[in-house]
Amino acid sequence: MKKRICDILMCGVLSHMIWRSHQAANVKANIKANIAESRQFPYDIEVIAENLFIPWAIAINGGGKLYFTERSGAIRMIEDGELNPQPLFTFRTPFVSQGEGGLMGIVLDPNFSQNHYIYVMHTYAEGGQIYNRVVRLVEEDNRASIDRVILDRIPGGRIHNGGRIKIGPDQKLYVTTGDAGNAMLAQDLTNLAGKILRIELDGSIPEDNPIVNSPVYSLGHRNPQGLAWNSRNMLYASEHGSRAHDEINLIRPGANYGWPLVQGNEDTSEVPVQKPLIHSGEDTWAPSGVTFVSQGPWQGKLLAATLRGEKLLAVSLSEEGTEVEQAESWLQSEYGRLREVIQADDGSIYLTTSNRDGRGNPDRTDDRIIRLIPKRSDI
């Protein structure tokens, strides 16, 4: 009898445990469902160009034309959703495209509709040395020609060329340069490598630069590849670390960001250094293009396209813009390596893949330009 009672009691306990287990599973399932619901991708995705060769940077004019660079040397254009089969311009010798060098950043003049100026950054060879420079072109009838060299003889190499150029809210031209594989150049104020540079649109040095008669705006960078301003005109940059420790930095005039003395949150007594807003720790992002979203479902977020990370990083900042509140990953491994991210006036976001750069796994349609269109309910 006692055994029978024990069996009954045990059966009841087991039944209760099973019921509790089912309840817990249901709760977890509901939580996961709620998370999945909240994590639904808030954009429609459209591939607008494919079979490209390492599209590096995008610039968009007010009329909806999209200009982009291919690292092999071509400036190309998309108009009304159609890729023009003929490049606007193709660079020739002494232009070189090897390793991480080639045709990189592009930006349109603020008065592009009147003067048709296009600024690009590219790698070239001279006297057995590799350099980078910024040149200005003039576009007419879907063709372009070189107008003048704006900034020249930036140290370059097979690795760490930086390459991003943007025009800031102050109408100055900002240029990111890598250390060209020679780390200590980033700490040398007489050298243009490993810096963020700030110049006038004609190449002259602004009178209010932090260092008199120098284009250097900040130093101690390893390989910065992204620039973006928030609504308060605060400048942020993405940077490749050494063996992980990739960074997103708030850029302050004249500040030293530590490379190669420190990376991540490390300290040094040698010089005052600015610590990153966020870094990847032991993970590798390899962040490249960055943009602030001014409208739509991701309004206020800083987006970073990542290469090795193969994802789009969405960073939420504090109201002051000085602290990271959250970092989310989207499109993980969906399109491979992502090089560029930029927002258009209509709220669409454009991405480029970089799967044919020797470090990816390209498929038959790579490389591509992808458009993220805010879903109608989120407009």
Angle at 258 between CA 329 and CA 123, to 5 degrees: 75
The residue that leads in pLDDT, 32 or 372, is 372
Looking at this protein, which amino acid is placed at residue 155? P
pLDDT-based confidence at residue 376 (cuts at 50, 70, 90): confident
pLDDT-based confidence at residue 178 (cuts at 50, 70, 90): very high
Stretch 112-126: mean pLDDT, rounded? 98
Peptide bond into 94 cis (omega under 30): yes
d(CA 327, CA 238): 14
Stretch 207-235: mean pLDDT, rounded? 98
Residue 269 CA, chain-centre distance (Å), reads: 31
Task: Please compute Rg for the chain using Cα positions.
Answer: 24
Helix (H) or strand (E) holding 329: strand 324-330
Q: What's the pLDDT at 30?
A: 34
Q: What's the pLDDT at 377?
A: 62
Mind listing the pLDDT tens digit for each residue in 228-268?
999 999 999 999 999 899 999 999 999 999 999 999 999 99
Six-digit token pair at 372? Answer: 């993220």
Mind listing the pLDDT tens digit for each residue in 196-207?
999 999 999 999
d(CA 264, CA 248): 10
d(CA 377, CA 296): 10
Q: What's the pLDDT at 2?
A: 39
pLDDT-based confidence at residue 93 (cuts at 50, 70, 90): very high
pLDDT-based confidence at residue 181 (cuts at 50, 70, 90): very high
d(CA 227, CA 175): 9
Q: Bridge partners of 338? A: 353
DSSP state of 256: B
Residue 270: pLDDT over 50: yes
What is the CATH code of the structural domain delimited by 42-378?
2.120.10.30
Residue 14: pLDDT over 80: no
d(CA 201, CA 170): 11
Q: Nearest Cα to 353, choosing from 72, 47, 121? A: 47
Contact 97, 111 (CB under 8 A): no
Residue with the two structure tokens 């010798």: 93
Contact 259, 253 (CB under 8 A): no
Q: Give percent above pLDDT 90 in the chain.
A: 88
Q: What's the pLDDT at 26?
A: 37
User: How do the residues of the chain divide into helix, strand and coil, expressed in percent and rounded to 5?
Assistant: 15, 40, 50
Contact 270, 333 (CB under 8 A): no
Helix (H) or strand (E) holding 147: strand 143-155
Q: Give percent above pLDDT 70 in the chain.
A: 89
d(CA 84, CA 295): 29
pLDDT-based confidence at residue 226 (cuts at 50, 70, 90): very high
Residue 84: pLDDT over 70: yes
Peptide bond into 287 cis (omega under 30): no
DSSP state of 184: G
Residue 378: pLDDT over 90: no
Stretch 370-376: mean pLDDT, rounded? 93
Q: What are the extents of the domains in the chain?
A: 42-378
Q: What are phi and psi of 113, to 5 degrees?
A: -65, -25
d(CA 137, CA 142): 12
Q: What's the pLDDT at 28?
A: 33
- pTM summary value: 0.90
Contact 278, 327 (CB under 8 A): yes
Region class of 141: left (phi > 0), else alpha (psi between -120 and 50), else beta: left
Mind listing the pLDDT tens digit for each residue in 352-365?
999 999 999 999 99
DSSP state of 204: P
